[in-house]
């Protein structure tokens, strides 16, 4: 099915800009949820339990916003793609290492990953400033929540 069965409230040009920002955000958030779950399964060391639980909180945030981003894409007539192949090909998040990781290396990796995602989201906030303020508002809310999480992860390194 090529043509969208959903009529978009946006012009074709605005729909393309906004749809691209939403799709890029979708794959990054799917990747974040998978990375955080991988880290959750493989973190070891002192303070294991608190980091283990904090990683599940991050998974929950990523999954919630993944759904909101995908639903927003649908609302503007863009079919979202969160399949594994799309995530592998398109995510801009840093690689998370395989195998067990110490609490310290886990926290450092999550701080780096969140910083990269926030930078990418802030770029998309700028991109959607003229194309769709509703999507921009969603991206701002996601960024606000992830910046709060980023602060909390960084606080563990202090």
Closest CA to 40 of 31, 49, 27: 49
**Percent of residues, the chain, with pLDDT higher than 90:** 94
Whether this model's pTM surpasses 0.75: yes
* Average pLDDT taken over every residue of the chain: 96
d(CA 62, CA 157): 22
Residues 125-138 have a mean pLDDT of: 98
Residues 6-26 have a mean pLDDT of: 96
d(CA 46, CA 3): 54
What pLDDT, on a 0 to 100 scale, did the predictor assign at position 37? 98
What pLDDT, on a 0 to 100 scale, did the predictor assign at position 4? 77
CA distances to 49, 103, 119 from 42, rounded to whole Å, are: 12, 9, 26
pLDDT, tens digit (0-9, with 9 covering 90-100), for 94-111: 999 999 999 999 999 999
Q: Is the pLDDT of residue 1 over 70?
A: no
What pLDDT, on a 0 to 100 scale, did the predictor assign at position 3? 75
pLDDT, tens digit (0-9, with 9 covering 90-100), for 68-79: 999 999 999 999
CA distances to 26, 32, 79, 97, 125 from 111, rounded to whole Å, are: 20, 12, 31, 14, 21
Residues 44-48 have a mean pLDDT of: 93
The answer to whether 106 and 114 have CB atoms below 8 angstroms apart is: no
The residues with which 101 forms a beta bridge, in sequence order, are 43
d(CA 85, CA 90): 8
């Amino acid at each position: 099915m090529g043509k969208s069965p959903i009529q978009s409230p946006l012009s074709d040009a605005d729909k393309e800009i906004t749809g691209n920002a939403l799709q890029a955000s979708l794959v990054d958030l799917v990747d974040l949820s998978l990375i955080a779950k991988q880290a959750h399964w493989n973190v070891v060391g002192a303070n294991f339990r608190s980091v283990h639980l904090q990683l599940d909180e991050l998974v929950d945030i990523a999954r919630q916003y993944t759904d909101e981003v995908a639903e927003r894409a649908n609302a503007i007539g863009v079919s979202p793609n969160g399949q594994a192949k799309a995530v592998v090909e398109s995510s801009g998040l840093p690689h998370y290492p395989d195998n067990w990781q110490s609490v310290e290396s886990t926290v450092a990796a999550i701080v780096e990953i969140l910083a990269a995602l926030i930078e990418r989201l802030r770029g998309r906030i700028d991109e959607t400033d003229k194309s769709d303020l509703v999507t921009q508002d969603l991206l701002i809310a996601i960024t606000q929540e992830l910046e709060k999480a980023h602060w909390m992860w960084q606080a563990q390194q202090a």
